[in-house]
Amino acid sequence: MQHVSKEVYMKAFKTQMSRWGFVLIHVIAMIYAGVTAANGGDFQISMGLFGILLFSYFTGASVFGFGSMILMNIISAACAFLFENTSVSFGFPFGYFNHFAEGIRIVNVPLQVGLGYYFYAFAGWMLADLLIGRRGHNDMASRIGRPLIGSLIASGMDLTTDAINGLVNGDYEYPAGGGFFGSPLSNSFGWVFTVFITLLLWEILIVPRTAKKDNNIIGAASSWHLQNAVLIGLQVTAPFIGFLTVKDFTVTDCLGYNWQAHYAYEASTMIALLALVMAGVIGIFVWVRKRETEKAA
């Protein structure tokens, strides 16, 4: 009887977390970051990724299985370390740049950078699956479309913090500069390329096994998909809170150009509003439509 009660409790906990648990974590993290900055501390924009990071691991294990989630991490990290290192050394696909973030390095790339690609890729894949996936069908259009759309979403998530992490915080630098607060167009191309290859490998190695076990998981309008869309839209809160709380100061890039930190946060908020909020809102409405269709079937 006690064993049954434990199973019921865990199932209920899992259901609630799949609905709004990680959205709540995101809100708490952003309140903490905002209060800290308002009281004179450093604004940690990375706190805006805390909820979606935890969500990607929890959901990845729940939807695909723990073993598959680990393999997805290995694939994304391998692609990230490979292409980031080729960029540092040869300029492809991100363009020539240098990392200055502290920590353990895999050749020229900090460990946390390579490992961080997983949750960007996962969030992009989940939203792409919601937008174009068909429940019970894993056709060729979906297998190509999900990596393409997912890579664009992941690149948008990165662009939302690029000016802040690169220029304001000084975590990396493009010696030749770039039009977006020192970051060039090649940086976004590198993100699209790297995440596309990552998700394409997921589609070949991971997704078919999951679809074979339960063909209704892929393309479904699940609570996981809904919360992912909400979390992507909420990525606007990090640069916006920074815009409201961080005191303005001048940053000089490697080419000697002066930039205002306040404008970096403002521009990042505008990009997040027009890219990530729009993507999240579209995802929410697609989820509602799909649920209506599923209930009517």
Give the CA distances from residue 21 to residues 6, 28, 120, in Å, rounded to whole numbers and listed in that order.
20, 11, 19
Mean residue pLDDT of the chain comes to: 91
pLDDT score at 38: 86
pLDDT score at 209: 86
| 56-105 per-position pLDDT tens digit | 999 999 899 999 999 999 999 999 999 999 999 999 999 999 999 888 99
Of the candidates 196, 58, 194, 70, the residue with the CA atom closest to the CA atom of residue 125: 196
Please tell me the pTM assigned to this model. 0.92
Write phi, then psi, for 14 (nearest 5 degrees).
Answer: -65, -40
CB 75 within 8 A of CB 198: yes
Q: How confident is the model at residue 218 (pLDDT cuts 50, 70, 90)?
A: confident
| 13-44 per-position pLDDT tens digit | 666 665 688 999 999 999 999 999 888 888 89
CB 160 within 8 A of CB 49: no
Domain boundaries, the chain: 23-33+46-296
Give the CA distances from residue 100 to residues 105, 109, 113, 172, 181, in Å, rounded to whole numbers and listed in that order.
11, 9, 11, 5, 17
